A and B are shown apart, each in its own frame.
Chain A
Amino acid sequence: MKVLVEEDHNIPSVALYFFFKVGSRNERPGATGLSHFFEHMMFNGAAKYGPKQFDQQMDRAGGSNNAYTSEDMTVYTDWFPSNSLELMMDMESDRIQHLAFDPKIIKSERGVVYSERRTSVDNSNRGLMQEQMQAAAYEAHPYHWPVVGWPSDIEAWTMDDLKQHFAMGYAPNNCVMVAVGDVKTDEVLRLAKKYMGPIPRHDPPPPVRTIEPKQTGERRAIVHKPAQLPLEMIAYHIPAAHDSSFPTIEVLRALLAQGQSSRLYRRLVDRDQLSIDANAFAQSNLDPGLFVISLQPRSGVETAQVEKAAFEEVEKLRSAPVSDAELQRAKNQLLADSFRQLQTIAGRANLIGRYEVLYGDYHKLSTRGEDIEAVTIADVQKAAAEYLNTDNRTVVTLVPEKKTGVSE
């Protein structure tokens, strides 16, 4: 297990993060959502600390915790007063090594996860759109299926599926531990050796061999659903987070949609009043991800009008160089944002781990400023031309249907 520590004695608290390199990309059809379900099960009891004990001990120690699962990793996050470090290491090592699998708890937790899916996908227009977007943009690669899992798979996971997943993903050699805050590095290393050292290593998940074939033409997905307003998402395939072009892609994102001076805001939200908002997001993934533009058309505006204007703005980035001033503005926004994310011990622990696992090296966090500053006008135009093109794009629209008083 790789251990990364940053001391910060500003407040008497610690952020302790565990990044397991296993996520929905390591799943298979029929057992989608298993990584996320497993993340839930990690709070349901192990050998020394039984059901509910992890959270109850955490409470008494003045700590709190959470966890998240992505396509690429499963991350466990603990925040607590610095005098509880040893308890946390003990509890984490217990569940990593000796998780319990109680059929009754599995049944109940399945209901919890289904409720989470109902909330974040089935009853969320944006969640549903995003699921459709991934499914349409990826035909072959596991990013095709949702992290939370398809409904039929949520209903079908078995005890054996869980045990196999545990054996595949959960060993210290498949994990990066990050501690930030009111700790002493020597003490963290001593406790890591004591509690994590004895846990046997085993084979990490098999490599994901499938490479998404190059997209050769625009794809579309349409969602019909009762809604007040339409939604529009436009996705382009981009390289993985560790790729040298990623800083340029971040600059592109800022140029398009960060702040009210950005191109999409100015054109679609302010000038033409076609959209309520204009957002863009570059997925920083282990395998090549998506660059996503998300828009909510104004009432009475067709999705076709919104996307036409958005495509025109994207085309301008491909056909003409940006000005020095505009490029510098985007860079300054990105740099200030990095500072913002580093303000808290939790923010730093998260970024250190993400850079180590997804970007390939935590040192890239400290060279981020230089990497962004190095992006040139030519880089921006070249990346826009290469990635933001028609054949590489997937468009998802939500078209409201008026439904009155009819139940499903």
Chain B
Amino acid sequence: MRTFVAILGLLSAASVNAQVKLPKYAHEVLANGVTVDLLPRGEFPLVNIEVLVKGGNEAEPLEQAGISDLTVQMLREGTAKRSADDFSDQLDALGGSWRAASTAQAARISAQFLSKDFDQGFDLVADALLHPSFPDGQLTKLRSRMVDQVRSEKDQAQQAISRYSNAFYFGSGHPYGRIADEATLGSLDRAKVADFYAHNYTGANIIVIVAGRFDENAAKAAIARTFGAIPAGQPFQWAADPATPTASGNRLLLIDKPDATQTYFTISMPGINRTNPDRSALWLVNTLFGGRFTSLLNDALRVNSGLTYGASSNYQQDKLTGALRISTYTKTDTTVQAIDMVLDVTKKLRETGVTPEQLASARATVEGTYPTRSLETPGELAGQLGDIELFGLNRGEVDDLFSSLDAVTVEKADAVIRKYLQPDGLTFTVLGNASRIREQVKKYAPAMVEVAVSQPGFMIR
């Protein structure tokens, strides 16, 4: 009985959860343009040091796809005062963790150390970022390993289809459609990496974030002494949002993997960028559509019919307008049944819209799971600050989140559904045993493109 009353309460109340706030942090822009955020938070003896370099994959020339990733991964492979081995010995002796990767908008180093090791840990981060020597031998090794990693991804269907989907949906003319492969990586050398570094790793493009347990004054002084002393350089010029890939009618890419016993597919359509005013409404709509276990897609394809282990939808939140994408898989025989069902669920949602109960439930899920997903660890907090700096947002992104979610009405949600969940102009990417599904999937897009999974790379040239 008590439970029942509580649920009624949930439906009528605007918000079930008290807004969790971003902890207090110090923000400063140094004279050379370096942005510094310090967020001391006391409970646990760990400190995260994150450095973001604006540009990321968006800064890559077409024929050099992968150069941002190669550059950021090379930072620890030799510096002015440390060999690659020295660097690893010292990092591991501290028990430090080190992740280096390039994302759409930024190259990112995320390092974590025990708080007592802050000075040594910070010295490793600053040395790698500011004094890399890019030794030729290490660069050649890393580059050829990255080529093999591309090949290895082909053996993992879910990773592969995500790459193919981006390449096909955006096309190689768009930064998000340029996927590193044998050809682009093979063309990279020390001179190109050094040049990419010199242009992009400058004061105006660097964001340093420290979160966790640390001495704020010591961190501030260390950052000023190191990152504060580099040239400002030219701020990265963000590209204008290219016209969203539009096609009259559907497009379909079929990737033949003859040994697959299951078909993996995605359906992509235009979504939003990180600052789009529809983002709160789309968050709720996507939660209902394919963002949680009870979502319409998973309910239809998994729970009611047993066609798949999971069906979901998600949307990019990057600088440029990204894709909204439905993803699932099913055994080869039920490929068409599953694709038809996805299209049917989408169509029905467009027609019926959402109920107030559904909207309240989505809001409860998003707000209830937000603290453990986004604000629990220093790493998550640093991630929030990184987004704020990178996309020109402010702390309201966290602090006012619940009120912006609460403000989404049924009418607004329905409008967002009609705006984004498109019935046509869809991009299908299908990976499976082509000989058994080729004829059937043609019906979705007569002008179908087919490639063999063994064909190098992910881009359709």
Interface segment out of the listed A104-112, A168-176, A285-293: A104-112
A404 — which chain B residues lie within 8 A by C-beta? 258, 452, 454
Which residues of A338-372 have CB atoms within 8 Å of chain B's CB atoms? 339-340, 342-346
Q: Is the CB of A408 within 8 A of B261?
A: yes
Q: Is the CB of B365 within 8 A of A62?
A: yes
Q: Mark A85-112, 1 if CB is under 8 A from B, else 0.
A: 0110010000000000000000111111
Closest-CB distance, A109 to chain B (whole angstroms): 6
Q: Is the CB of B141 within 8 A of A344?
A: no
A52 — which chain B residues lie within 8 A by C-beta? 294, 299, 303
* Other-chain contact of B368, A61, A86, A118 (Cβ < 8 Å): A61
Q: Is the CB of A122 within 8 A of B16?
A: no
State in angstroms the CA–CA spacing of A225 and B112 once bound together: 39
Number of B interface residues in the complex (CB < 8 A) = 83
Number of A interface residues in the complex (CB < 8 A) = 81
State in angstroms the CA–CA spacing of A131 and B306 once bound together: 24
A226 at the interface (CB under 8 A from B): yes
A119-B262, A259-B88 known; A80 vs B307 contact (CB < 8 Å)? no
Closest-CB distance, A358 to chain B (whole angstroms): 24
Which residues of A13-65 have CB atoms within 8 Å of chain B's CB atoms? 13, 15, 52, 55-57, 59-65
A283 at the interface (CB under 8 A from B): no
State in angstroms the CA–CA spacing of A343 and B156 once bound together: 31
The residue on B at minimum CB distance from A337 is: B95
When A and B form their complex, what is the total count of cross-chain residue pairs whose Cβ atoms lie within 8 Å?
A: 220
A59-B292, A119-B309, A339-B46 known; A273 vs B141 contact (CB < 8 Å)? yes
B275 at the interface (CB under 8 A from A): no
* Other-chain contact of A123, B114, B157, B376 (Cβ < 8 Å): B157
A55-B294, A269-B145 known; A80 vs B261 contact (CB < 8 Å)? no
Q: Is the CB of A333 within 8 A of B7?
A: no
A13-B371, A119-B329, A273-B145 known; A87 vs B361 contact (CB < 8 Å)? no
B144 — which chain A residues lie within 8 A by C-beta? 273, 298
Could you show 23 A-B contacts with beta carbons less than 8 Å apart? A11-B20, A12-B17, A59-B364, A61-B16, A62-B367, A80-B368, A111-B307, A112-B309, A119-B329, A125-B155, A226-B257, A261-B91, A266-B85, A333-B95, A335-B95, A336-B96, A337-B95, A340-B112, A343-B377, A344-B372, A346-B372, A404-B258, A408-B433
Given contacts A115-B306, A118-B262, A299-B151, 16 further A-B contacts (CB under 8 A): A59-B294, A79-B372, A81-B16, A108-B306, A115-B307, A115-B330, A123-B260, A123-B262, A227-B155, A229-B148, A260-B88, A261-B85, A276-B152, A296-B148, A343-B377, A408-B261
A interface residues, Cβ below 8 angstroms from B: 10-13, 15, 52, 55-57, 59-65, 79-81, 83-84, 86-87, 90, 107-116, 118-119, 122-125, 225-229, 258-262, 266, 269-270, 273, 276, 296, 298-299, 325, 328-329, 332-337, 339-340, 342-346, 402-408
